[in-house]
């Protein structure tokens, strides 16, 4: 640990303490390892604070210029990696103190003015909103990229007319167009993108910067100036709420979790479809791994890992919510844990979305197998019941009558056939998967015309969302 006037703890805490902290306890409380991921956001926050100090007449123009130039240099050092090595070597408690100390080194006496009217409480709250805003936009874009890929592949499979036996309870249920399944995946990612977009919007509403530790400041800080530079709508209206509010961060972790859950569900299906028991899909080598022991193995690891990440993110959200639930208003050190959760959730979610996008692009559907099995397992039985209902039979009686014919066919080891239609008095009812699909009438169904409309609606939703995202922009460097 560095000792003397230039120690990190002296720079942050001033004369209240007569000795340095226990090094082990300081290390236990350090968040520097995680904080390095948010260093550039802290620089943006600090540059806006300098502008607010100048706007309020708290620092002279020449000091503001020196501070801003020093922060610009720190930003460059963060970008090239030298700042992180320096901060780790100095064993700072967090990145906020490390940046303050580095500015002092670069700017000289002007550096002592950087922290005027500011607490790490409002600084952390603001920095994390900047982080969440940008990563929420990245999450939204990642989800929309997947949705667009799915829409394109759905259109291809619609033109092919590929069928698949959809399941409930993993039992054959009804024939559908594969394009309907792919578009359903796309719709989930559109909703995930909408959740991320809402988080990005909420993260741009109120700037905590200038709230101080909890009560505001006696200094005439230019809060509106700083908020505008950071692209917030306005300064936060309540200083006590601002420093301890983590609602947007909880929403962000929730959006990360929900997005990976969205990826996890089709991943589960694709893992099973890739097994010989189904044989519906094959994965290119680029999306598969082998076994260290068994030469024949071809494992769909990306989709399995996505399922695992979904579980981990559920735990991350629960942990963040549990951390916040018992805290009084204002800032408490417990909230440091939410910072780490947010950072790791962001990286896990973005990586998982990228993995799904890449892996899904390497999925090849085995059309012959899917088409061949679409009508098996008595998947047209519901169509027969519907035909009876259309002729005036009650739903209960229709269900029982068709169920009896299924039982007889199953006992005889055959599919439903014309003899069953004759017995039931519905000679025109669908008996194959293709006819079943084309017999559907309702909006949003698996009828080709409805699936085509659904794909168009998905593409329209993607385009509309894409138009809203650039309004938030990227954070200044």
Q: Active-site positions?
A: 169, 291
CB 379 within 8 A of CB 433: yes
Torsion of CA 310, 312, 318, 323, to 10 degrees: -140
Neighbours of 276 (CB within 10 A): 5
| Backbone phi and psi for residue 229, each to the nearest 5 degrees, phi listed first | -65, -30
Which of 136, 175, 257 shows the shortest CA–CA distance to 436? 175
Neighbours of 470 (CB within 10 A): 9
Which of 416, 393, 394, 390 shows the shortest CA–CA distance to 404? 416
Q: Is the dihedral of CA 123, 126, 128, 131 positive or negative?
A: negative
The whole-angstrom separation of Cα 329 and Cα 289 is: 50
Q: What letters, b where the CB count within 10 A reaches 16 and e where it falls short, cover 40-75? A: bbbbbbbbbbbbbbbbbebbeeebbebbbebbebbb
Residue labelled with tokens 């168009």: 456
CB 415 within 8 A of CB 423: no
Lookup: tokens for 14: 């001033």
Residues 6+ apart with CB under 8 A from 397: 388
Q: What is the DSSP string of 14-52?
A: GGG-SSPPPHHHHHHH--HHHHGGGHHHHHHHHHHHHHH
Residues 6+ apart with CB under 8 A from 257: 310, 313, 314, 316, 317, 345, 349
Neighbours of 419 (CB within 10 A): 12
Q: Is the dihedral of CA 23, 24, 26, 30 positive or negative?
A: positive
The whole-angstrom separation of Cα 411 and Cα 320 is: 55
H-run or E-run covering 261: helix 247-273
């Amino acid at each position: 640990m560095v000792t003397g006037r230039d120690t990190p703890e002296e720079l942050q805490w001033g004369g209240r303490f007569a000795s340095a902290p226990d090094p082990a306890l300081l290390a236990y409380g350090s968040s520097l390892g995680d904080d390095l991921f948010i260093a550039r956001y802290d620089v943006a926050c600090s540059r806006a604070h300098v502008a607010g100090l100048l706007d309020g007449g708290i620092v002279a123009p020449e000091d503001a210029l020196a501070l801003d130039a020093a922060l610009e240099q720190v930003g460059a050092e963060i970008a090239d990696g030298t700042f992180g090595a320096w901060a780790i070597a100095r064993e700072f408690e967090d990145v906020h103190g490390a940046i303050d100390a580095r500015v002092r080194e670069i700017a000289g006496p002007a550096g002592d003015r950087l922290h005027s009217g500011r607490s790490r409480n409002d600084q952390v709250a603001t920095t994390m909103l900047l982080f969440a805003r940008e990563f929420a936009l990245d999450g939204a874009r990642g989800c929309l990229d997947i949705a667009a890929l799915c829409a394109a592949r759905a259109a291809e499979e619609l033109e092919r007319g590929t069928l698949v036996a959809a399941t409930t309870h993993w039992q054959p249920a009804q024939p559908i167009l594969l394009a309907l399944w792919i578009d359903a995946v796309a719709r989930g990612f559109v909703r995930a993108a909408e959740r991320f977009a809402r988080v990005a919007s909420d993260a741009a509403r109120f700037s905590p910067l200038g709230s101080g530790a909890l009560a505001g400041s006696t200094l005439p800080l230019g809060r509106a100036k700083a908020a505008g530079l950071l692209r917030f709508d306005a300064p936060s209206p309540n200083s006590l709420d601002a420093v301890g509010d983590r609602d947007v961060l909880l929403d962000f972790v929730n959006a990360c979790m929900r997005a990976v859950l969205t990826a996890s569900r089709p991943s589960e299906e694709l893992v099973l479809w890739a097994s010989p028991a189904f044989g519906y899909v094959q994965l290119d080598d680029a999306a598969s791994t082998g076994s260290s022991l068994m030469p024949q193995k071809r494992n769909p690891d990306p989709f399995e890992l996505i399922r695992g990440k979904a579980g981990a993110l559920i735990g991350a959200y629960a942990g963040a919510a549990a951390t916040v639930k018992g805290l009084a208003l204002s800032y408490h050190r417990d909230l440091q844990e939410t910072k780490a959760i947010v950072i790791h959730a962001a990286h896990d979610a973005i990586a998982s979305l990228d993995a799904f996008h890449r892996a899904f692009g390497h999925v090849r559907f085995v059309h012959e197998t899917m088409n061949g099995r679409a009508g098996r397992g008595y998947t047209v039985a519901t169509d027969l019941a519907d035909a009876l209902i259309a002729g005036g039979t009650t739903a209960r009686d229709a269900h029982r009558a068709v169920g009896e014919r299924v039982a007889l066919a199953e006992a005889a080891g055959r599919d439903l056939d014309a003899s069953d239609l004759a017995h039931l008095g519905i000679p025109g009812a669908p008996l194959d998967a293709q006819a079943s699909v084309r017999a559907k009438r309702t909006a949003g169904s698996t009828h080709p015309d409805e699936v085509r409309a659904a794909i168009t609606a998905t593409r329209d939703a993607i385009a509309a969302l894409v138009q809203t995202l650039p309004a938030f922009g990227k954070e200044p460097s």
